[in-house]
């Protein structure tokens, strides 16, 4: 039985670039020795020391999301171009690299997922921190019970103008930021109450308990999703904010941008 490197070499004929998704250091080094093929590492960090590296803002559980994000990021970084053939090596079953996909880079590469992190007013690390907070809340719930939550991130001034308070704002004179473990504990506690959290471009918690007022006409969301998702679609249509929603009914975390869902994450898959 051939080695994993043998399998790679068998498939690289006619391929310009090899994408390695979160490879071990030794596997990356083996692949880097293959002649006439550029190797790009796609992972949360570049512990392999790869010269071509794409940082994942999230640990995408879905292989398709990983590949779509990676291809668009690689085009933007000039690692690949339209028409290139790419061999993707990924871990689907959780026991090391086990999946190989060969694809041709399309003429137009545009995913809402990539735009969410690279073409939003909010800083990418802020969006990531809110995602991780929603995912953790989706896993644990509030005192063991499922909860729903809505976080509106970026363009906070306009969001505040298009919403109204439901109660006293505990963050009115504070200077706390999402991502701080202590602050995240507070947000989890407040998530059991109605209304949206409003977070600035830089991650400052501007408000909680906000009722979003944009009209929902024209917002298209899948059947079965409720008021939080409708509000997220409407506020992101009318502002430059993004919204991250934890659904109380199905436990999924969904991101909205420009009035549409651009990403869906199952907390239990993380």
Instruction: Identify whether residues 121 and 100 lie together within a single domain.
Output: no
Examine the domain organization and report whether 128 and 65 are in the same domain.
Answer: no
- Say yes or no to pLDDT of 1 above 50: no
Would you state the pLDDT for residue 40?
Answer: 95
Confidence band of 80 (pLDDT split at 50, 70, 90)? very high
The CATH code of the domain that includes 179 is 3.40.1700.10
**230 by DSSP, 3-state: which?**
helix
Q: What is the pLDDT, as a whole number, of residue 187? A: 86
Which pLDDT score is estimated for 218? Answer: 77
**Residue 234 to residue 257: CA distance in whole angstroms:** 10
Q: What is the pLDDT of residues 15-34, one digit of tens each?
A: 889 999 988 888 898 888 88
H/E element, 164: strand 163-165
The total of structural domains in the chain comes to: 2
- Write out the residue range of the structural domain in which residue 208 sits: 115-269
The structure tokens 């690949």 sit at 80
Tokens (6 digits) for 43: 């992972």
Report in angstroms the alpha-carbon separations of 154 from 50, 204, 206, 242: 33, 10, 10, 7
Mean pLDDT in the chain?
87
Confidence of residue 253 (pLDDT cuts 50, 70, 90): very high
Q: Which residues contact 115 (CB under 8 A, 6 or more apart)?
A: 257, 262
Q: What is the DSSP string of 5-46?
A: HHHHHHH-TT-SEEEEES--HHHHHHHHTSTT-EEEEEESS-
Residue 157 and residue 74 share a domain: no
pLDDT digits (tens, 9 = 90+) for 176-194: 999 998 888 888 888 877 8
Which of 110, 131, 162 is where one domain is finished? 110
CATH of the domain at 52: 3.40.1380.20
Predicted confidence (pLDDT) at residue 207 exceeds the cutoff of 90 = yes
């Amino acid at each position: 039985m051939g080695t994993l490197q043998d399998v790679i070499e068998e498939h690289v004929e006619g391929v310009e670039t090899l994408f390695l998704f979160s490879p071990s250091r030794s596997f990356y080094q083996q692949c880097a020795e293959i002649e006439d093929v550029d190797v790009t590492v796609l992972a949360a960090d570049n512990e392999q020391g790869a010269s071509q590296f794409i940082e994942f803002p999230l640990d995408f559980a879905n292989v398709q999301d990983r590949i779509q994000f990676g291809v668009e990021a690689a085009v933007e970084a000039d690692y690949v171009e339209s028409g290139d053939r790419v061999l993707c090596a990924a871990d689907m079953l959780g026991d090391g690299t086990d999946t190989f996909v060969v694809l041709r880079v399309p003429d137009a590469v545009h995913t809402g997922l990539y735009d969410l992190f690279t073409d939003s007013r909010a800083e990418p690390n802020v969006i990531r921190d809110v995602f991780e907070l929603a995912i953790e809340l989706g896993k644990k719930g509030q005192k063991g019970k499922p909860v729903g939550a809505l976080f509106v991130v970026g363009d906070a001034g306009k969001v505040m103008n298009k919403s109204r308070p439901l109660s006293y704002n505990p963050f009115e004179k504070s200077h706390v930021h999402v991502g701080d473990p202590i602050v995240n504990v507070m947000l989890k506690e407040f998530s059991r109450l109605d209304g949206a959290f409003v977070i600035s471009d830089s991650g400052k918690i501007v408000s909680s308990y906000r009722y979003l007022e944009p009209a929902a006409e024209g917002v298209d969301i899948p059947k079965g999703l409720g008021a939080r998702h409708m509000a997220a679609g409407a506020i992101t249509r009318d502002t430059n904010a993004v919204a991250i929603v934890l659904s109380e009914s199905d436990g999924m975390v969904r991101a909205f941008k420009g009035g549409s869902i651009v990403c869906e994450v199952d907390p239990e898959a993380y």
